[in-house]
Amino acid sequence: MKLVLGLGKTGFSIARFLSTQNVDYKIADSRTNPPLLSKYASAFLKSPPILGVWTLDLLKEVDEIFISPGIAQNESIVIWAKEQNIPIVSDIELFSRFAKAPIIGITGSNGKSTVTQLLIQMIANAGMQVAMGGNIGTPALDCLSEKVEYYVLELSSYQLDYSRHLNLVAGVVLNITPDHLDRYQSFKHYTNSKLSLHQHCQHLVINLDEPLTLIKANAKCFGIGMPKQADDFGTVTCHDTCYLLKGDDVLMSINEAQLIGEHNTRNILAALALGDQIKLPITSMVQSIKNFKGLEHRLEWVAKKQNIDYYNDSKATNAISTITAIQALMHKHQNIVLILGGIAKQEDYTPLFKRINKSITSVVLIGQSTQQFEQEINTNTSHAKTMQDAVNIAGSMINNGAILLSPGCASFDMFDNFEHRGEVFKRTIKDVI
CA dihedral 350, 355, 358, 360 (to 10 degrees): -120
Instruction: Please identify which of the residues 9, 26, 167, 180 carries the catalytic annotation.
Output: 180
- What's the 3-state SS for 54-102? CCHHHHCCCCEEEECCCCCCCCHHHHHHHHCCCCEEEHHHHHHHHCCCC
Closest residue by Cα to residue 327 from 360, 302, 296: 360
Strand ranges across the sheet with 300-305 = 300-305, 308-312, 401-405, 336-340, 362-365, 380-383
Q: Alpha-carbon distance 272 to 282, whole Å? A: 8
Q: Alpha-carbon distance 429 to 311, whole Å? A: 10
Closest residue by Cα to residue 257 from 305, 291, 233, 295: 291
Cα Rg of the chain (Å, integer): 23
Q: Is 290 a catalytic residue?
A: no
Q: Is 180 a catalytic residue?
A: yes
Residue 11 host element (H or E): helix 9-20
Which residues touch 237 (CB under 8 Å, ≥6 apart)?
Answer: 243
Determine how β-strand 241-246 pairs with β-strand 233-238: antiparallel
CA dihedral 392, 398, 403, 408 (to 10 degrees): -90
Q: Where does residue 155 rank: exposed (0-12), middle (13-18), buried (19+ CB within 10 A)?
A: buried
Instruction: Please identify which of the residues 2, 112, 198, 246 carries the catalytic annotation.
Output: 112
Instruction: Please identify which of the residues 135, 207, 267, 312 carries the catalytic annotation.
Output: 135
Beta strands, E only, 108-194: 130-134, 150-154, 168-173
Reduce the DSSP state of residue 145 to 3 states and report it: coil
The partner residues of 66 in beta bridges, in order of sequence, read: 4, 89
Q: Is 304 a catalytic residue?
A: no
> Catalytic residue positions?
112, 135, 180
